[in-house]
């Protein structure tokens, strides 16, 4: 790896670690109602919105009411985005006169943005009008992320509350997430992008000259696999060596500006963090290079994960880890001072099993039906990977696409849309049920039989749990896709 590559990766990890503590502390203050001075001017706005909506902040809800409020809000959001798309041809702010997307695509997109998946089965800005993007997709980018954050804060509160019947007020958590966290962050980041020339106007499309290609070089298995390139090309005499003139390795489907390292870094970050955007065609990665982003999603989106959902997903795995450890040492499992009993473990099992079921059953249905197979661009193992990737993305609310699969068909739009709905809400409901159950419990002081959960040993146990569950569930499917493809590739050397 070159100095440039090491610098890129180091900058990424240092920024991530440096931001975690101050941002986490800021968020904890916001949810506790202690608004820091520099955003105190937003307090009257919060009060005015609450008064207007008839929300009383002190009205803390039991988990069932919290869940129903969340579901009603998300139902209305989904229906609003669906309607907005279907009527976009007669609504204003549509300078290109774009027609309404088909009903199945509008369903898929509405569900995708309401569930914070952001999977797009259509091509970018040539399908949705400015109004649909701003009022529909843009708004959902805030409120769906805030929904995930609200669930996380309700779960966090349940560890702090003792013998409480309520877990917080959904509307207040939602509003605070948007007003104090997401809006200020987006404003600052949008200004940074504008300063770099990224603008959004009300004009139609404009054709611009591409930037001059910039040379980058070579992360993890993904970087290694991509940099190693495709041996079949070597046989044809294609020069894939890194040099002053080119990044080298497998450059199919990648921008020369980004090269292998920035493409692999983005592919791993976007699937570990549930970002959903791509800067290279994952379909064109080498089999092992493409398997890494797929595997990161299949682990349940817990490495960084989605907004809010990444951490509540990881806490669910932590409950399973303390349960397993409790079984091994013969003690009642405890986590952060709360006893973990049968109900919590059952709910954790539901939350962990729903995504793999959606991914595996969805993939199986797609590869045995004509409608599913007709969307596959490449036959054989690679085609299977295309379908498996699409369901891994939808079934874990990631949103990134492998490309290659023609997913804008009624079959895929509806099946992937349904997978996104279950993946989102059939995880949120058991997580809120765990919050409700934990909040009602007493806090148990740590004793000699308590397994410490802040030690490297527990971290290893937690990582082991995530990997073992992920591996046991997905290795057979991965063996049929990227693993076979890799063996075929090296076998034909």
Residue ranges in contact with other proteins by CB under 8 A: 63-64, 67-68, 71-72, 74-75, 78-79, 82, 86, 103-104, 106-107, 110-111, 343, 346-347, 414, 418, 421-422, 425-426, 429-430, 432-433, 436-437, 440
Instruction: Supply the minimum distance, in Å, between the C-beta of residue 343 and other proteins.
Output: 5
Q: Residue 288 or residue 415: which is nearer to other proteins going by CB?
A: 415
Q: Residue 278 or residue 432: which is nearer to other proteins going by CB?
A: 432
Q: Residue 111 or residue 325: which is nearer to other proteins going by CB?
A: 111
Q: Residue 176 or residue 424: which is nearer to other proteins going by CB?
A: 424
Q: Please report, to the nearest 10 degrees, the dihedral formed by the alpha carbons of residues 323, 329, 334, 337 taken in order.
A: -160
Q: Phi, psi at residue 257, to the nearest 5°?
A: -60, -35
Among 78, 122, 120, which residue's Cα sits nearest to residue 100? 122
Instruction: Supply the minimum distance, in Å, between the C-beta of residue 327 and other proteins.
Output: 21
Instruction: Supply the minimum distance, in Å, between the C-beta of residue 64 and other proteins.
Output: 5
Q: Residue 71 or residue 480: which is nearer to other proteins going by CB?
A: 71
Rg (CA), the chain: 23
Q: How far apart are the first and last CA of the chain?
A: 25
Instruction: Supply the minimum distance, in Å, between the C-beta of residue 34 and other proteins.
Output: 30
Q: Kindly report the CA angle at 197 between 193 and 201, in degrees rounded to 5? A: 90
**What CA–CA distance (Å, rounded) separates 319 from 396?**
20
Instruction: Supply the minimum distance, in Å, between the C-beta of residue 440 and other proteins.
Output: 6
**What CA–CA distance (Å, rounded) separates 237 from 243?**
16
Instruction: Supply the minimum distance, in Å, between the C-beta of residue 83 and other proteins.
Output: 9
Q: Phi, psi at residue 249, to the nearest 5°?
A: 70, -160
Residue 244's CB: how many other CB atoms inside 10 A? 5
Q: Residue 107 or residue 122: which is nearer to other proteins going by CB?
A: 107
Instruction: Supply the minimum distance, in Å, between the C-beta of residue 402 and other proteins.
Output: 25
Instruction: Supply the minimum distance, in Å, between the C-beta of residue 79 and other proteins.
Output: 6
């Amino acid at each position: 790896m070159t100095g440039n590559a090491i610098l890129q990766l180091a900058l990424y990890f240092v920024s991530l670690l440096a931001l975690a503590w101050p941002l986490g502390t800021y968020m904890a203050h916001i949810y506790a109602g202690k608004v820091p001075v520099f955003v105190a001017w937003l307090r009257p706005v919060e009060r005015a919105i609450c008064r207007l909506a008839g929300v009383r902040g002190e009205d803390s809800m039991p988990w069932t009411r919290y869940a129903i409020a969340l579901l009603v809000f998300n139902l209305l959001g989904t229906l609003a985005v669906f309607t907005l798309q279907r009527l976009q041809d007669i609504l204003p702010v549509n300078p290109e006169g774009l027609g309404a997307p088909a009903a199945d695509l509008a369903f898929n997109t509405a569900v995708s943005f309401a569930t914070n998946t952001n999977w797009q089965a259509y091509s970018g800005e040539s399908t949705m009008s400015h109004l649909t993007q701003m009022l529909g997709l843009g708004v959902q980018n805030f409120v769906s992320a805030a929904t995930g954050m609200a669930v996380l804060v309700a779960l966090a509160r349940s560890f702090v509350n003792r013998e409480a019947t309520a877990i917080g007020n959904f509307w207040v958590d939602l509003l605070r997430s948007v007003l104090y966290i997401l809006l200020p962050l987006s404003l600052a980041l949008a200004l940074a992008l504008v300063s770099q020339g990224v603008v959004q106007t009300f004009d139609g499309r404009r054709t611009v000259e591409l930037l001059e290609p910039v040379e980058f070089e070579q992360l993890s298995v993904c970087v290694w696999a991509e940099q190693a390139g495709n041996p079949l090309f070597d046989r044809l005499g294609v020069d894939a060596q890194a040099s002053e003139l080119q990044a080298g390795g497998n450059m199919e489907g990648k921008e020369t500006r980004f090269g292998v390292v920035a493409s692999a870094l983005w592919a791993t970050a976007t699937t570990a963090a549930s970002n959903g955007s791509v800067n290279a065609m994952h379909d064109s990665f080498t089999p092992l290079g493409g398997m890494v982003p797929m595997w990161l999603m299949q682990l349940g989106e817990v490495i960084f994960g989605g907004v809010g959902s990444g951490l509540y997903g990881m806490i669910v795995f932590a409950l399973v880890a303390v349960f397993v450890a409790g079984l091994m040492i013969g003690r009642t499992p405890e986590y952060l001072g709360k006893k973990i009993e049968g109900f919590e473990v059952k709910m954790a099992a539901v939350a962990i099993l729903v995504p793999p079921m959606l991914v595996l059953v969805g993939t199986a249905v797609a590869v045995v039906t004509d409608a599913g197979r007709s969307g596959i661009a490449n036959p054989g193992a690679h085609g299977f990977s295309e379908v498996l990737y699409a369901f891994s993305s939808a079934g874990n609310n990631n949103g990134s696409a492998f490309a290659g699969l023609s997913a804008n068909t009624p079959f895929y739009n509806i099946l992937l849309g349904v997978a996104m709905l279950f993946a989102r809400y059939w995880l949120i409901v058991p997580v809120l049920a765990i919050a409700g159950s934990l909040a009602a419990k007493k806090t148990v002081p740590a004793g000699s039989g308590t397994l410490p959960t802040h030690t490297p040993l527990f971290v290893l146990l937690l990582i082991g749990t995530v990997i073992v569950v992920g591996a046991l569930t997905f290795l057979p499917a991965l063996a049929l896709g990227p693993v076979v493809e890799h063996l075929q590739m090296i076998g034909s050397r």
